Structure 1
Amino acid sequence: MSVLAAIAVLGLLIVVHELGHFGAARLQGIRVSKFSIGFGPVLAKYDGKETEYALRAFPLGGYVGFPDDDPDSNIPLDDPNLLRNRPVFDRAIVISAGVIANLIFAYFLLVSQAVTVGVQDINYQAGVLIPDIISEVNSPAVKAGLQKGDVILAVDNQPLPAQETALETLRQTIQDSPNQVLKFTVKREDETFVLSITPELSDNGKGKIGVMLAPNGDFIKRRPHDIIEAFTVGTQQFERYTKLTIQGFGQLISNFQESAKQVAGPVAIVAVGAELAKNDLGNLFQFGALISINLAIINILPLPALDGGQLAFLMVEGIMGKPLPNKLQEGIMQTGLVLLLGLGIFLILRDTANLAFVQQFFPQ
């Protein structure tokens, strides 16, 4: 059930995204010929008065089709309600509406979570938790003897207080101290001791010791007192998740070699969602909001086959006063689509191979 719930959330986010495009076009009177969830062979479809609604075999996204792209369309090319004949601004609204829909949906998911099940909060305790040691045999943390479950109480005699800022303080200290010896005050069960650890210089020019960091404390659920506070909490959560997502993409670009290994495809995302739902179905609100924000930010990137790529074409058209040649645009978009689908298939195969039940039959 938890797997189905996670798949349903992903499917809903795709529908929301495509409904954004569809709604923005229809509200402006622009003709829409196809509304499709998924790619490839049609599993089910319904022919409306003007639009074909279809569910397709490969759930790697979806698309809204326009008569402009259909060579068999009997609509005159000079029809003012064709997307191609609308001003740049009208087309930009249609293209960007999917991203906007995902962001709005994420926000209301977080408000709904606050109202129904409450938001997750932390009863902070002193220090920063080490939830896991990154599997590097010669990492500074492994050499020094740091272990999973340890709590770092202080670094260079600077206490890490029971506050949200403790984690960022420790992370910043480590990143700012490559090749410098740091004294970590560590608590392990009932024992407290000091370890000397020298952060190594990473590819991005910052220090690292090879561990994951997490807040130290007990997780609690807190409900707002009224609807106004619920919207306030939803806004705070939305800002936080959006900021973290943008920072994550920034790290992917600046430190691609290490960060690329953490990029997840649909299978891994469903696995994470299923695990969250298994513990608490209320976690699906947070899961859905995070994925919706990620989907929005990915789509706005100026890459071929994504909404951002089409907006880039419109920007060029607005500056030049005329669009790029159709063959050039089609070539760029088709190349981008092939690369995007190839990446999707690769991530699906990789993440499927990494699933626990698969590795039982095919151990590495």
Structure 2
Amino acid sequence: MSTLAAITVLVILIVVHELGHFFAARLQGIHVKRFSIGFGPVLAKYQGTETEYTFCLIPLGGFVGFPDDDPESTIAVDDSNLLRNRPILDRAIVISSGVIANLVFAYFLFIGQTATMGIQNLQPGLMIPQIDNNSAAMVAGIKEGDVILSIDQYLLKEFPAATTLFVEKVKNSIDKPLNLTIKRKDEILDLTVIPNSNKEGRGKIGVGLLPNIESSHAKNLIEIFVYSSKTYLNAFTLTIQGFWQLISHFQENVQQIAGPVKIVEYGASIAQNNFGNLFQFGALISINLAIINILPLPALDGGQLVFLLIEGILGKPLPTKFQESIMQTGLVLLLGLGIFVIIRDTASLTVVQEFVKQIGM
């Protein structure tokens, strides 16, 4: 059930993103030919007055299709309500509305988190939501739900300082024992973990890390909105910083890129502890989805906005064939990266590793 819940969250975020594009177009009177969630074989479809709505087998994406380049379209090529015939500002609104929808939706998810889970106060230490199979952490006896209070006599402060210290100690301690003080429910335990080496030659123990949080009920609606706003701003800032860290130190951090399989696994792990945490999980993924889509890369919303910016500077659009070749190349590269990440993340799943062992591979 927790895995299904995590998948549902991802599908909802995709729907929200595509609805942003769809409503931005329809509210401006722009023709929309198709609204699709997912890729691959069509499972269900409905033909509206103008738009065909479809739900496909693989719900890991979606798109809003316009009749502009459809050779079978009966709409005149000079129709003012075709997307390509609209002013740059109108098109920019349509293209950017998916990102805006995800950002707005993330804020309301934080409100839902606060209303159901209460105000979350950061406490010293780090919580372990997930442990990799056959990892150094599992060998050491660390369990999901444990809270790490100290590492090698260094008391951990609140997130994010605690994460920085912990990661740095583990990274520089390959094959060296680290003493951990762990809180497990009402028990305080002392464990020793010996980090392994990852592909980059840095220490790892195979755990996920979350802030250590203590919840209290909000007193009124004003407190819910104020706290949610602060949480949203903090999450957005940290996400931007994380992306900058990834881009500026790509080779060091490339292994941290997670695809839909890993995201679902992580979401399922969170849901097992408390379904209410899916609000926060959804909000964080929604912010990440928005930032990824606004990057100035071909086949993403940000890439299309770059074309509009160039059109505004030159006073005319770039040749259609040139734009299409750039977008198609970008799409192939993104799909290739996506497939690679999905295969890598699937291969690392515990159930897959156990199956491989059983068949003797």
Query: Which bin holds the TM-score, normalised by the shorter protein?
Result: 0.7 to 0.9
Task: Tell whether 2:112 aligns with 1:117.
Answer: no
Q: CA, structure 1 residues 277+293, in 2 after alignment: closer, same or farther (shift >3 Å)? A: same
Deviation at 1:120, TM superposition (A): 3.3
Deviation at 1:356, TM superposition (A): 0.6
Q: CA, structure 1 residues 109+327, in 2 after alignment: closer, same or farther (shift >3 Å)? A: same
320, 327, 344: which one pairs with 2:314? 320
250, 253, 263: which one pairs with 1:269? 263
Give the secondary structure class of the aligned counterpart of 1:362. Answer: helix
Deviation at 1:316, TM superposition (A): 0.4
Larger Rg: 1
How far apart in 2 are the matches of 1:344 and 1:169? 29
- Deviation string 1:45-74 (CA, Å, 9 cap, x unpaired) is 111000010112222211001110211101
How far apart in 2 are the matches of 1:44 and 1:270? 24
Task: Tell whether 2:327 aligns with 1:333.
Answer: yes
How far apart in 2 are the matches of 1:268 and 1:323? 39
How far apart in 2 are the matches of 1:187 and 1:39? 47
TM-score (norm 2): 0.80
Aligned to 1:235: 229
Aligned to 1:103: 103
Give the secondary structure class of the aligned counterpart of 1:93. Answer: helix
Aligned to 1:167: 162
Deviation at 1:237, TM superposition (A): 1.1
How far apart in 2 are the matches of 1:321 and 1:39? 36
How far apart in 1 are the matches of 2:160 and 2:65? 48
Counting only pairs closer than 5 Å after superposition, residues 127-166 of structure 1 correspond to structure 2 as: 149=148, 151-152=150-151
Aligned to 2:5: 5
How far apart in 2 are the matches of 1:107 and 1:161? 29
- Deviation string 1:308-333 (CA, Å, 9 cap, x unpaired) is 00000000000000000000000111
Q: CA, structure 1 residues 44+165, in 2 after alignment: closer, same or farther (shift >3 Å)? A: closer
2:149 and 2:156 in contact (8 A); partners too: no
How far apart in 1 are the matches of 2:267 and 2:167? 30
Aligned to 1:69: 69
Give the secondary structure class of the aligned counterpart of 1:76. Answer: coil
Deviation at 1:13, TM superposition (A): 0.3
Give the secondary structure class of the aligned counterpart of 1:17. Answer: helix
Deviation at 1:167, TM superposition (A): 2.9
How many residue pairs align between the two structures? 333
Aligned to 1:87: 87
Aligned to 1:257: 251
- Deviation string 1:5-54 (CA, Å, 9 cap, x unpaired) is 11111000000000000000011111111101112322211110000101
| RMSD after superposition | 3.6
**Structure 2 letter corresponding to 1:86:** R
1:22 and 1:35 in contact (8 A); partners too: yes
**Structure 1 letter corresponding to 2:162:** L
Aligned to 2:40: 40
1:60 and 1:344 in contact (8 A); partners too: no
Deviation at 1:169, TM superposition (A): 8.1
- Deviation string 1:296-315 (CA, Å, 9 cap, x unpaired) is 00000000110000000000
Counting only pairs closer than 5 Å after superposition, residues 291-310 of structure 1 correspond to structure 2 as: 291-310=285-304
How far apart in 2 are the matches of 1:16 and 1:130? 30
Q: CA, structure 1 residues 287+190, in 2 after alignment: closer, same or farther (shift >3 Å)? A: closer
TM-score (norm 1): 0.80
How far apart in 1 are the matches of 2:243 and 2:6? 23
2:294 and 2:301 in contact (8 A); partners too: yes
- Deviation string 1:217-264 (CA, Å, 9 cap, x unpaired) is 6x3222221111111111111111111211111111121122111111
Deviation at 1:122, TM superposition (A): 3.1
How far apart in 2 are the matches of 1:64 and 1:269? 24
1:35 and 1:52 in contact (8 A); partners too: yes
How far apart in 2 are the matches of 1:59 and 1:213? 26
How far apart in 2 are the matches of 1:215 and 1:310? 35
Aligned to 1:198: none
Give the secondary structure class of the aligned counterpart of 1:245. Answer: helix
1:34 and 1:51 in contact (8 A); partners too: yes
Give the secondary structure class of the aligned counterpart of 2:317. Answer: coil
How far apart in 1 are the matches of 2:298 and 2:224? 38
Give the secondary structure class of the aligned counterpart of 2:275. Answer: coil
1:36 and 1:62 in contact (8 A); partners too: yes
How far apart in 1 are the matches of 2:160 and 2:269? 28
Q: What residue ranges of structure 2 are gaps of 5+ in the alignment?
A: 133-139, 143-147, 173-177, 183-187, 191-199
1:129 and 1:152 in contact (8 A); partners too: no
**Structure 1 letter corresponding to 2:275:** L
1:167 and 1:213 in contact (8 A); partners too: no
Aligned to 2:175: none
Aligned to 2:145: none
1:42 and 1:55 in contact (8 A); partners too: yes
Q: CA, structure 1 residues 59+88, in 2 after alignment: closer, same or farther (shift >3 Å)? A: same
Q: CA, structure 1 residues 292+163, in 2 after alignment: closer, same or farther (shift >3 Å)? A: closer
Q: CA, structure 1 residues 41+161, in 2 after alignment: closer, same or farther (shift >3 Å)? A: closer
